[in-house]
Structure 1
């Protein structure tokens, strides 16, 4: 495997660069997620209310006690069990990140890791995940997802990350983006 040299003369193997990229992005997502949640919970949504911003976007305060879109939020699983599961999954993704062959995969995994850890912190801190962004997309014909369930920075990062991981797995994209 070739070794590259950075501007400061520091040499690193390409996989190590993707690991640093992914973990750095995970840290950025985690900090941004936690900062926005703290701001929204303690400043914007104190007291909780709906704040329309546009016809299709509003701030809301929703406490998600389950997993995606409140699934399994009936108390069957405690917040610590779900947080523990998220941390285990993040650990598995870090192991995968160590072997990432492309920058796209590193970015995708970094987004998912940062989002998973951010939501796990919420579960331990508040017993639920703080969701506060609500959008409606008028051109979506299915009322099932309109308005879209409330989400946060971690949820958005996880969604983008999963899409990037899937894109990286496509054969033509894998060759073109290496």
Structure 2
């Protein structure tokens, strides 16, 4: 365990934010607004969707000021995760970095576009999971990893 270093946190968060933004730019250019590109019929599509809300489109019809609230939450979360990862094991830094990098990636979208770009659409037949992006995936994986770490510490 490496102590007194947050390098894994920073490397992970930066990599996630860069890859997230690169994929969003790529798919915004690849797909026209509203376009659906079927990749695996009945299971996976690429879509061009803008989400003005938070996860799964919740609060999508919120007032304009809510954008700033969401941006603030993104920054507070990233900062809090930095403090959580300080002087911790590499795995803790990486999981915190995954969440922080995802928060930063979605912050960038909200800052420049007032909403978040989503392009991954998984479904089984007509039943669709809400579209999401790599930042969302990173946040989910990071949270699952943190839950695992904290559950092991509790034993």
Same fold (TM over 0.5): yes
Which whole-Å deviations, capped at 9, do the CAs of 1:23-55 have from their partners, x for residues lacking one? 1011000000000111111x1123540000012
Bigger drift between 82-91 and 116-125 goes to 82-91
> How many residue pairs end up in the alignment?
152
- Where does structure 1 differ by over 6 angstroms across 4 or more consecutive aligned residues? none
In 2, the alpha carbon distance for the partners of 1:29 and 1:35 equals 10
Counterpart for residue 69 of structure 2: 81
Correspondence for 1:71 among 55, 58, 63: 58
Question: Structure 1 stretches of 5 or more lacking a match?
Answer: 1-12
Q: Scaled by the length of structure 1, what TM-score is found?
A: 0.79
Counterpart for residue 93 of structure 1: 81
Larger radius of gyration: 1
CA contact 2:20–2:134 (8 Å) conserved in 1: yes
Q: Scaled by the length of structure 2, what TM-score is found?
A: 0.89
Which one has more relative contact order, counting CA pairs under 8 Å at least 6 apart?
A: 2
Counterpart for residue 5 of structure 1: none
**SS of residue paired to 1:170:** helix
Q: CA RMSD in A?
A: 1.9
In 2, the alpha carbon distance for the partners of 1:39 and 1:126 equals 16
Correspondence for 1:50 among 36, 39, 45: 36
The offset of 1:137, in angstroms, is 4.2
1:118 aligns with 2:105: yes
